[in-house]
Each structure stands twice: as C-alpha cells, then as structure tokens.
A and B are shown apart, each in its own frame.
Chain A
Amino acid sequence: MFLLWFLACGLVDAEGEPRIEAHRCAAGYYPENSATGCAKALEAGFGTLEFDLVLTRDDVAVIHHDPFVNPEICTLADGTRLGEEEADRVYFKDITAAEARAGYLCGGIEVEDFPTQALVDEPIMTWAELLDMIEGHPDVYLHIDIKWEGDLSRPPDTYARVVMEEFWARELPNDYYVSAEYPEPLQEVEKLDSSVVTSWSWPSFPDGESTTLVAIGHELQTTLGTEDLVQLANDAKVDELNIPWQVADRRRVEDAVASGLPIQLWTLNTAAGLEAFGKWPVEALITDYPAGDAP
C-alpha cells in the first residue's frame, strides 16, 4: 500500500481536457481530406477540423495530404489504379488544378487502417471549396496543415501567400492555427502576419527514410539532452509543436508546456490512447475518430 502511494506521488494528471481535432476531417469515417468527409465533419459538429493543403503548378491550393496524387486512395478518373512506384508519382507541382480535379478521383479505395470508413469516390477538393463549406460554422477551430516538402513542392513563400491570402480574404471569424512538417512555410506565414499561431510538426520524416530510425535518432538525442523541445521551437521560430505520440516524452512535454510552449499530439486512434494521453497537459489530441468511438 505504501509502495503504491509512494509511486503515485510523482505523477500528477493535467487539469482539464485537451481539444480533440478531427484528423483530415475525421478519416476514420469518410475518405481523408474529402469534400464529403469535411462536410460530414462540419455537420457532426466536431470542434476542430484538421486538413492538409498542397499547391498545384498554377498555384491553386487543393486539399490533399501528399505532394503527389496518393495511389493508395486515388485512381485515374476512369477508375484505373495508379502505379505505386516512385517513378509513377504525379506531383501536384507539375499539374494544374484543373488537371488534378478532372484527372483523378479519390476516396473509392478501401483503406486498411480504416476498415469502417465509408467509401466515396470524388474529385480532389480545392481550398476555396472547403472555405465555402466552413462559412456558416464560425465556432469550428481550424487546423490548417501546409504540406510543403522541399523540392517536391512549390516554394514555401508561395505556399504561405496562396493559402493564407485566400483564407484571410474570406474574413472568417474562426479561430485557427497553421502547421507544417518543415519550419520554412511557417516562417513565411509569420512574415506575412506575425500574429498567426504556427505549430511545427516535429520531427520531420523525410520521404524515403525509415520512420523508425528517424524516431529512434530523435529519441536518443532528447534523452541525451542534445535536443530539447523548447530549443527546437525557438530555433525554428514557431509558436507551438505538433508531435507524434510515439516520440512524445511526458516529462519533457510537461516541462515544455510549463515553459510556455503549447503542444499537440497526433495521431491517436484508440480509446485507450486518447484516454491516457488526454491526461497530459497538451493543447490538443489529433484523431481520426473524434466522435469518441475510437476502437
């Protein structure tokens, strides 16, 4: 009994509950980043929507997670499956918005990670179309995730300008913050308006590199003390950090939050995970099952 009490002294759960964000407009229920998925998410009243934006060759922002048309969820408009080799990739920076929308359909392929997802095959949605949907939902918090990936994408300043100017032109009352996997587009957003809240999705997982090895490398560096969450945010000149739960260390997260650095965790898709990480002093938990029915 004494031992249990003794051990309980070191860990204190955070007060309150983190905000729950609908990852890619709640991909657990409808295809990720889809028009139907985002419409259903707004209809369901999820408090925060997270979605991803990439730029086409003609600098139009479309809603998609990867810098290329993802063959795991998209086909050609006639239903033909896309090649999955790197050489087969169709990068958005190389096609126009019209070509992207007319040439491909996404959401009609079964996704192993989301067995209960309703399949809806439809064209890639534009940022303008999503903003049309968001109008009339002033209470929805928006997590705008800029998917810039170096040479695979249009320039970061172009990303920042196109995404933010289109958003600001609508003069929507929604609270929002902007994230990205690399600091560059966030720094460009800050140049446009330093009051925008920016969150760096750290660590970056470069295309083609082993995510396990990348994660282990950062784990060792933070344990040894050669990397620190506050130092990372300061060096990147961002306001917050967005961390995958697999590399999150509770003590370091607590210290960083206590030092004034807000943190979000992604992507938690089990009820047990949401409950356990919900006790951390984080600002938000990102999940594909925001309705509280994660498996």
Chain B
Amino acid sequence: MILLVAIALAQPFRFDRVDILAEDPGTWINYDLPQAPVAFTQTAVRLVEQVSVQWQLPVTNLYLGTSIASQSLTYELPWKHGLGVHGGLQTSLLLPRGAVLGAHWRTGRVRLGLGASVISSATWAHVDYSQWHVLPTIGVGVGRKYEAPAG
C-alpha cells in the first residue's frame, strides 16, 4: 500500500474536489451526527476532521483522499450521464484499515456518492483487526467541473 502511494505521489497530480461529507471513514454520519443535540461542538469538530481533499492521480480514474480522519486510494469507474461506481482502500496514516465502495453521480462541480464503508478498529497505536463495522455512507463533494469521458 505504501509503495503504491509512494509511486502515485511521485507523479504530478491535481486537485479534484473537497468532499464536505466524505464516504471514508463514514463514521460521522453514523456515529457523530446522532449525538449533535447533546454534543454539538464535538460533532462539529469531527465533521471538520472528516472533510477530505480528493486529488486526481496521473493514473486514470484513481484518486487520493486526504483528511485527518482517513487517507484513501479510490478507483472511480464512470458509466454514463455522470453516473459511476467506485471502490477503494481506506487507511489510518497509511495503515490499511478498511475499504469503501459505492456509486456516485457527478454533475457540474458537484459529486454525490452513496455506498458503504467497511472499517476496522486498526490504528498504528493498536494494530487490531478484530473489530469491523459496515457503515452506509453518503458523500457530498464540490470541486473541479465534471468532464464526461470521451467516447
């Protein structure tokens, strides 16, 4: 994983979008948002932590996501009318800890995603893959204007 990211980062890449609501790790919408009425500040802080800047890599349809909460490598396969599917690896400071997959729709500068995050409890502080969660996720991103693939 580290080798792949190193290779990808060795090439120039460009900004694609900011996912205000990111699909990885997907914990904010499932765990933190319900606590908002009693823990508003914490909910807001964790919203910020999961905001993900997505970078388009030189490899076609490959994206690097970077947030405090997660760092991911995702492949997006476009279909038609802006629709597509995606899947990828999510990490905690480059320690693989789960996957993300789903479908998305890109129109103009907006990207909407719907999918699932499969996430473990593994971190560098405690490399433990015994606990897993499958979380439904929603993604809302804003960024570069979408250009439909040629052909």
Contacts and interface: CB of A to CB of B under 8 A. Distances in A.
Contacts of A216: 45
Interface residues of B, number: 35
A224 B70 CA distance: 8
Interface stretch (A5-13, A136-144, A150-158, A163-171): A5-13
Nearest to A274: B38
Contacts of A211: none
Given A225-B123, A230-B126, A10 B31 contact: yes
B136 A224 contact: no
B109 interface: no
Contact of B93 (A225, A228, A251, A272): A225
Interface in B26-61: 26-27, 29-32, 34-35, 37-39, 41-42, 45-46, 49
A224 B124 CA distance: 9
B131 A10 contact: no
B121 interface: yes
Chain A's interface size range is 20 to 34
Interface in B118-147: 121, 123-126, 128, 130-131, 133-136, 138
B125 A227 contact: yes
Interface of B: 26-27, 29-32, 34-35, 37-39, 41-42, 45-46, 49, 68-69, 92-93, 95, 114, 121, 123-126, 128, 130-131, 133-136, 138
Interface of A: 6-7, 9-11, 216, 219-220, 223-228, 230-231, 245-247, 249-252, 254-255, 258-259, 270, 272-273, 276-277
The 5 closest A-B pairs by CB, nearest first: A225-B123, A10-B30, A228-B126, A228-B125, A225-B92
